[in-house]
Every structure is written in C-alpha cells, then in structure tokens.
Amino acid sequence: MDILDKIVNDKLKEVGYRKKVISVSHLEVSPLFERNTLSLKKNLEKSKSGIIAEHKRRSPSKSVINQDLNVQDVAIGYENARVCGMSVLTDTKYFGGSLDDLLIARASCDLPLLRKEFIIDPYQILEAKAYGADVILLIAAILTTDEIKLFSQVAKSLGLEVLLEVHNEKELQRSLISSIDMLGVNNRNLKTFEVNLTTSKQLSALIPDDFTKISESGISSVEAIKELQPFGYKGFLIGENFMKTENPGLHAAEFINDLEG
C-alpha cells in the first residue's frame, strides 16, 4: 500500500467520525457559511506572478518543514507579499494541519483561501465553506470521474471554486468537467515522491483554455516559473520554499519582486 492509499484509508475513518460529531445542519448555520467567496481564478488571470502560497507544517516526503510559525503571522505576511491566494493544509495526521488553521487564516487576511485536503466525501466540502474557504482541492488520483463531477457541482452550489489536481494524462483526460475552474498539474510522483517539471510541460497542451492552469510541487525558483509561463501556466503553488524560512511572508515578497522585476 502506497502513501496515498494509507492517507485515503485514514481519511475515510476520520470523516466518518467527524460526521457523527458535527452534523451537516450545524455546519450550515456557521457564521461563515453565508459569506460571499473570493475568486482565486480571477486573481490568477490578472496577476503577473500567479503565486499561491501555502501554509504547511510537515509532509510525508519531508517530515517537519516548520512547526514554529503561527497561521495568523503567515497569512498576514502572505497578504502583504501580494500573493494571489493562500493554500491551507487541513490534514492533521500527515501534514500537521487542521480546520482551525483555515479559520485563523480567514480571520487574518482577505486572500482567497484554498482548503488543501484529501476530499473523499461531500461533507468535507460543506466543512470547507463553514470554515471560510473559497476554493477546494479535488485530487483525480483518489476519485472516480463521477465523484469529481458530483463534488465539483456541490462546491459550485456553495459558491466555492474548484481546483482539480492531476498527475498524468490518463487522470487529465477523464477529469475535464465543466464544473472545474482550475486544473493543477502536480509535478510530484505520488508513488516515489520525486519531482519533475517536465510533467507540467507535457500536459499543458492537453488542457483546454477554459481551465486556468496551475503548476504544483517542486517550484522553488523564479527561473522555474519563467520556464513554465510560456506553457500557459497562470498559477504556481509554492509551500515548502516559503515555509522552511523563519518569515514566509517576507520570503514570498522577495520572490514576487524578483519574478516581476
């Protein structure tokens, strides 16, 4: 069993438990459930840099990245750096995140927030809305085409945007659904955790122009982004590169200045 299978098995148990503790009707009366969401897609389309900056404490591939920073400081720093949006890891077991991180980020900034999570149940989409997210992530590798269609439609009905993540051509071809807003190509092989930007380059021509293209994983330099922009990528998800520093917001600001300079 590879790491993705383990994560999904654990997530099924976790979501089953959460559904017993907090009902759907409880989520629907959350103060944030009725808020008007912000558009990450629009921000990316008009941006020169296209940076989506991530809050990420640890990962299965890198173990601890940074446990010392608080979400509020990171969110404020990212907003001051003029990023297009913020990605917040909410998985606890493997990434050290939580839904409270999303709540704190929402209270700390006016950026579009992406709930970065392994979504395997519509309940998690309602959670995302209730805790202040603007965008959800769907991972093609763990979902059927029917699930991608259903989950993206549920998200749209709540006013949330949808970022679909693919790793190869097979996942891409079965996932081109009209209720998807952004298509993310993950440069990380989920079996080996190796990273190769060639994945983004090879898949770019197969992504219709209706979808905003985002490149994810292994982007640690301005040169890498300049290499990918001619392939039509408007968004670049960067986590570890900022989070491994003492001041992610400052690092993001310097990175964006270098990119736009």
Q: Print pLDDT tens along the chain (261 aa).
A: 588 899 999 999 999 999 999 999 999 999 999 999 999 999 999 999 999 999 988 777 667 666 778 999 999 999 999 999 999 999 999 999 999 999 999 999 999 999 999 999 999 999 999 999 999 999 999 999 999 999 999 999 999 999 999 999 999 999 999 999 999 999 987 767 788 899 999 999 999 999 999 999 989 999 999 999 999 999 999 988 999 999 999 999 999 999 998
Amino acid at 245: T
Residue bearing tokens 């890498």: 224
- The residues near 95 (Cβ < 8 Å, ≥ 6 apart) are 56, 57, 58, 59, 89
Token representation of residue 188: 């990380």
Catalytic residue at 194?
Answer: no
Phi/psi region, residue 251 (left: phi>0; alpha: psi -120 to 50; beta: rest), is alpha
Q: Is-catalytic flag, 54?
A: yes
Give me the pLDDT at residue 66, please: 66
What was the pLDDT predicted at 261?
82
Please confirm, yes or no, whether 161 is among the known catalytic residues: no
171 in active site: no
For the chain, the straight-line distance linking the first and the last C-alpha, in angstroms and rounded, comes to: 46
Specify which residues 250 forms β-bridges with: none
User: What pLDDT shows up at residue 61?
Assistant: 67
* Beta-carbon count within 10 A of 100 CB: 12
13 is catalytic: no
> Is 217 annotated in the active site?
yes
Q: Considering 87, 216, 234, 241, which one is annotated as catalytic?
A: 216
Question: Rounded to whole angstroms, how far apart are CA atoms 186 and 67?
Answer: 24
* 186 is a catalytic site residue: yes
Please report the domains of the chain, with CATH numbers, ordered by start residue: 42-260 (3.20.20.70)
Q: Which of 47, 66, 175, 186 is catalytic?
A: 186
| Residue whose C-alpha is closest to residue 212's, from 5, 44, 10, 72 | 44
Catalytic entry in 43, 108, 217, 241: 217
Q: Among 219, 31, 32, 212, which residue's Cα sits nearest to residue 113?
A: 32
> What pLDDT, on the 0 to 100 scale, is given for residue 216?
95
Tokens of 149: 């269609």
Q: Is 124 exposed, middle or buried (0-12, 13-18, 19+ CB in 10 A)?
A: buried
Is 111 within 8 Å of 132 (Cβ atoms)?
A: no
Amino acid at 95: F
Find the catalytic residue in 41, 43, 49, 54: 54
